[in-house]
């Protein structure tokens, strides 16, 4: 009988429709799960499809070939899939500074079971992840070594950092312009140091890093801060020294503020900010006042001597929240000496004075663009905005004059000759307007001499770069056939960063890795994890 009435309409999953008079209509069947009607013409293919599409986990009549599988029914992951998943876990831990112990978390295992649709999956052991991270480090390191092999000039930046466990580290980054005219930078090491930071020890540490990466003959400049030991170490090393111009600018601001009429107003600002920062109750009242005034809830910021632009940020937030701060303090009992209207006016003027310096500091700290050639034009811009006007009160005049005086003094201790050549090689500033007129001819003479010296040692590697990028970088008014020599000089001078900010960013990553729960992390693992996080950041 029609294969036992099509196997009992798939074992009871469907039934025939009853007519109004009680008779059976064998041309129409009804799904017992959703009551949907289907025309039935002795074929159950439509019925099977409906079961697998709408009721896949009900009953056992549907075809195994079409039935969806439950989590427990899926086959376990194969070896290649397991290896790929383990590699990606290791990469994630290294890239995002996650602790290795995360693979032992039960919640992490549950997430992976759902993601892999394999109820039997177990995360890799901590030792396995450690091995994979070491392998990943070696793989990525070879890529960086390959990049260094194919370049002629490398600029370094370096600085020291102390971890939570009082271990000292030297961080070093490399900067270069590739054959395809791409500016690239990456970490070389964050190396634990045992010696005191005397000049000889610091110089030897930098040279050790250069030897390990086999770039002793390629290093052009080493960028550091202007600490005395670093300046002395630079005299020992066979490389050019590039003092951090961002540090120089911030020191100018500090000195200028100390010798101006802003000291009293800033001291009051710090007291007011501390009043709210040190009391959750006071902060809550300030937030409530901000809401009542229809303003965004915004915490006040305290300035920190070692944090760049923090004084400006403190002033800006106080000015933005002046009404809320004043209203809140009027309702409280306190011993604060409040800012007077003239002092609020001083803060407005100080914000105007410091804003150009903030912009220049951030500009000089960039890694994605050429910054060395921007230093002299940026300093020239600051000198212009610090020109005294007839409307300036006496305290503003003192600030401006002290700023220009201190900046000129510190600029003399930069690698001024290197900055001049870098500026001349940058087509944006090739007119050398940021250089005194009396010095411009000497700069061009020096550059011409370099081209003449470089001419016999022509390298064919520079010709491989895209012509458009090379021409946009080296648009100079010259009828000589020295494009290749210009390219070599551009790679040499323009790769140098204007500041040591890349190292500061490296230490920010290190701070996430060597935290309170991981303060005993071995120095070799610190080095590899920090470098990997830096190397993988753009992937």
Instruction: Kindly state the tokens that stand for 365.
Output: 């700290």
Instruction: Decide if pLDDT at 462 tops 60.
Output: no
Determine the average pLDDT of the residues in 52-58. Answer: 67
Q: Which of 195, 211, 203 lies closest to 232, judged by CA?
A: 203
Per-residue confidence band for 58, with pLDDT thresholds at 50, 70 and 90: low
Question: Which pLDDT value is given to residue 482?
Answer: 60
Contact 502, 174 (CB under 8 A): no
Distance (Å, whole) CA 490 – CA 183: 11
Per-residue confidence band for 203, with pLDDT thresholds at 50, 70 and 90: very high
Question: For the purposes of burial, counting CB atoms within 10 Å of the CB of 473, is it exposed (0-12), middle (13-18) or buried (19 or more)?
Answer: buried
Per-residue confidence band for 59, with pLDDT thresholds at 50, 70 and 90: very low
Question: Which pLDDT value is given to residue 355?
Answer: 96
Question: Which pLDDT value is given to residue 114?
Answer: 85
Q: What angle do CA 221, 168, 195 make, to 5 degrees?
A: 80
Question: Which pLDDT value is given to residue 76?
Answer: 75
Look over the chain and give the mean of its residue pLDDT values, rounded to a whole number: 86
Residue labelled with tokens 């070093």:
172
Q: DSSP code of 224?
A: E
Per-residue confidence band for 46, with pLDDT thresholds at 50, 70 and 90: confident
Question: Which pLDDT value is given to residue 465?
Answer: 44
Question: For the purposes of burial, counting CB atoms within 10 Å of the CB of 331, is it exposed (0-12), middle (13-18) or buried (19 or more)?
Answer: exposed
Instruction: Kindly state the tokens that stand for 373.
Output: 């050639």
> How does strand 219-224 pair with strand 154-162?
parallel
Question: Which pLDDT value is given to residue 119?
Answer: 80
Question: Which pLDDT value is given to residue 455?
Answer: 62
pLDDT digits (tens, 9 = 90+) for 370-391: 999 999 999 999 999 999 999 9
The Cα diameter of the chain in Å comes to 113
**3-state SS assignment for residue 80:** helix
Question: Which pLDDT value is given to residue 43?
Answer: 76
pLDDT digits (tens, 9 = 90+) for 312-363: 999 999 999 999 999 999 999 999 999 999 999 999 999 999 999 999 999 9
Distance (Å, whole) CA 528 – CA 448: 44
Question: Which pLDDT value is given to residue 456?
Answer: 54
Question: Which pLDDT value is given to residue 243?
Answer: 95
Question: Which pLDDT value is given to residue 5?
Answer: 54
> How does strand 219-224 pair with strand 168-177?
unpaired
**3-state SS assignment for residue 462:** helix
- Least confident window among 47-61, 289-303, 327-341: 47-61
Question: Which pLDDT value is given to residue 452?
Answer: 77
Q: Which of 409, 308, 407, 306 lies closest to 363, judged by CA?
A: 308
Question: Which pLDDT value is given to residue 16?
Answer: 83
The CB-based long-range contact list for 427-430 (8 Å cut-off, 24+ gap) reads 427/472, 427/473, 427/474, 427/475, 427/476, 428/373, 429/373, 429/374, 429/376, 429/377, 430/475, 430/476, 430/477
- Name 209's Cβ contacts closer than 8 Å, sequence gap at least 6: 156, 158, 170, 172, 188, 189, 191
Instruction: Decide if pLDDT at 10 tops 80.
Output: no
**3-state SS assignment for residue 342:** helix
Per-residue confidence band for 393, with pLDDT thresholds at 50, 70 and 90: very high
Contact 415, 240 (CB under 8 A): yes
Q: pTM for the full model? A: 0.78
Question: Which pLDDT value is given to residue 453?
Answer: 76
Q: In what order do the strands lie in the sheet with 14-18?
A: 14-18, 24-31, 37-39
Question: b/e string for 22-45 if b means 16 or more Cβ within 10 A?
Answer: eeeeeeebbbeeeeeeeebeeebe
Determine the average pLDDT of the residues in 92-102. Answer: 89
**3-state SS assignment for residue 304:** coil
pLDDT digits (tens, 9 = 90+) for 24-42: 888 888 888 888 888 887 7
Distance (Å, whole) CA 316 – CA 300: 9
Instruction: Decide if pLDDT at 71 tops 80.
Output: no
Contact 354, 312 (CB under 8 A): yes
Q: DSSP code of 332?
A: S
Question: Which pLDDT value is given to residue 164?
Answer: 84
Instruction: Decide if pLDDT at 483 tops 50.
Output: yes
Question: Which pLDDT value is given to residue 321?
Answer: 95
Contact 64, 58 (CB under 8 A): no
pLDDT digits (tens, 9 = 90+) for 178-198: 989 999 999 999 999 998 999
Q: DSSP code of 205?
A: H
With a pLDDT cut of 90, the percent of the chain lying above it is 61
Phi, psi of 70 (to 5 degrees): -80, 175
Per-residue confidence band for 7, with pLDDT thresholds at 50, 70 and 90: low
Residue labelled with tokens 């803060």:
347
Q: Which of 281, 291, 278 lies closest to 324, judged by CA?
A: 291
Does 539 or 373 have the greater pLDDT score? 373
Determine the average pLDDT of the residues in 6-16. Answer: 70
Q: Which of 226, 90, 273 lies closest to 500, judged by CA?
A: 226
Q: Which of 450, 268, 438 lies closest to 347, judged by CA?
A: 268
Instruction: Decide if pLDDT at 279 tops 90.
Output: yes
pLDDT digits (tens, 9 = 90+) for 253-266: 999 999 888 999 99
Instruction: Decide if pLDDT at 469 tops 90.
Output: no
Question: Which pLDDT value is given to residue 121?
Answer: 85
Determine the average pLDDT of the residues in 299-303. Answer: 94
Contact 48, 66 (CB under 8 A): yes
Query: How many other C-beta atoms can be found within 10 angstroms of the C-beta atom of residue 224?
Result: 25
Contact 74, 117 (CB under 8 A): yes
Instruction: Decide if pLDDT at 480 tops 80.
Output: no
Question: Which pLDDT value is given to residue 26?
Answer: 81
With a pLDDT cut of 70, the percent of the chain lying above it is 89
Does 76 or 421 have the greater pLDDT score? 421
State how far the alpha carbon of 21 is from the alpha carbons of 24, 32, 524, in Å: 9, 21, 86
pLDDT digits (tens, 9 = 90+) for 122-138: 889 999 999 999 999 99
Q: Kindly give the interhelix angle for 245-258 and 394-411, rounded to the nearest 10 degrees.
A: 150
Question: Which pLDDT value is given to residue 441?
Answer: 92
Residue 118 Cα to chain centre, angstroms: 36
């Amino acid at each position: 009988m029609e294969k036992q009435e099509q196997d009992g309409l798939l074992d009871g999953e469907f039934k025939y429709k009853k007519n109004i008079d009680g008779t059976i209509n064998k041309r129409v069947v009804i799904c017992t799960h959703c009551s949907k009607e289907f025309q039935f013409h002795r074929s159950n293919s439509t019925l099977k499809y409906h079961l697998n599409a709408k009721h896949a986990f009900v009953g056992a009549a549907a075809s195994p070939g079409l039935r969806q599988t439950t989590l427990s029914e899926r086959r376990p992951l194969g070896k290649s899939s397991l290896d790929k998943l383990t590699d990606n876990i290791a990469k994630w831990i290294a890239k995002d500074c996650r602790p290795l112990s995360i693979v032992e978390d039960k919640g992490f295992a549950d997430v992976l079971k759902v993601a892999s649709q394999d109820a039997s999956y177990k995360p890799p052991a901590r030792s396995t992840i450690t091995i994979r991270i070491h392998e990943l480090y070696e793989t990525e390191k070879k890529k960086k070594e390959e990049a260094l092999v194919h370049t002629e000039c490398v600029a370094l930046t370096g600085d020291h950092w102390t971890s939570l466990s009082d271990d000292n580290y030297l961080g070093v980054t490399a900067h270069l312009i590739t054959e395809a005219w791409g500016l690239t930078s990456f970490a070389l090491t964050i190396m634990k140091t045992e010696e005191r930071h005397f000049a000889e020890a610091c110089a030897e540490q930098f040279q050790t890093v250069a030897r390990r990466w086999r770039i002793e003959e390629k290093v052009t400049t080493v960028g550091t801060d202007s600490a005395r030991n670093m300046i002395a170490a630079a005299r020992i090393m066979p490389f050019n020294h590039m003092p951090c111009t961002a540090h120089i600018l911030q020191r100018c601001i500090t000195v200028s503020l100390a010798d101006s009429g802003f000291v009293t107003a800033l001291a009051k600002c710090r007291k007011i900010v501390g009043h709210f920062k040190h009391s959750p109750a006071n902060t809550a009242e300030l937030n409530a006042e901000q809401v009542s005034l229809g303003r965004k809830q915004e915490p006040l910021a305290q300035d920190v001597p070692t944090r760049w632009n923090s004084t400006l940020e403190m002033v800006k937030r106080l000015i933005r929240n002046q009404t809320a701060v004043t209203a809140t303090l009027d309702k409280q009992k306190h011993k604060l000496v409040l800012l007077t209207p003239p002092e609020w006016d001083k803060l407005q003027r100080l914000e105007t004075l410091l804003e150009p310096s903030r912009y220049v500091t951030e500009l000089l700290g960039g890694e994605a663009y050429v910054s060395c050639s921007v230093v002299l034009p940026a300093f020239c811009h600051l000198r212009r905005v610090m020109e005294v006007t007839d409307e300036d009160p006496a305290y503003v005049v003192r600030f401006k004059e002290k700023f220009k005086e201190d900046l000129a003094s510190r600029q003399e201790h930069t690698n001024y000759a290197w900055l001049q050549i870098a500026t001349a090689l940058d087509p944006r500033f090739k007119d050398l307007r940021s250089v005194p007129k009396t010095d411009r001819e000497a700069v061009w003479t020096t550059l011409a001499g370099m081209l003449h010296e470089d001419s016999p040692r022509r390298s064919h590697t520079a010709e491989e770069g895209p012509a458009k990028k090379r021409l946009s970088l080296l648009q100079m008014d010259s009828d000589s056939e020295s494009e290749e020599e210009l390219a070599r000089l551009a790679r040499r001078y323009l790769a140098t960063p204007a500041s040591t900010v890349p190292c500061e960013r490296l230490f920010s990553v290190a701070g996430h890795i060597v935290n309170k729960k991981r303060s005993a992390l071995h120095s070799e693992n610190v080095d590899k994890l920090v470098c990997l996080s830096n190397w993988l950041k753009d992937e």
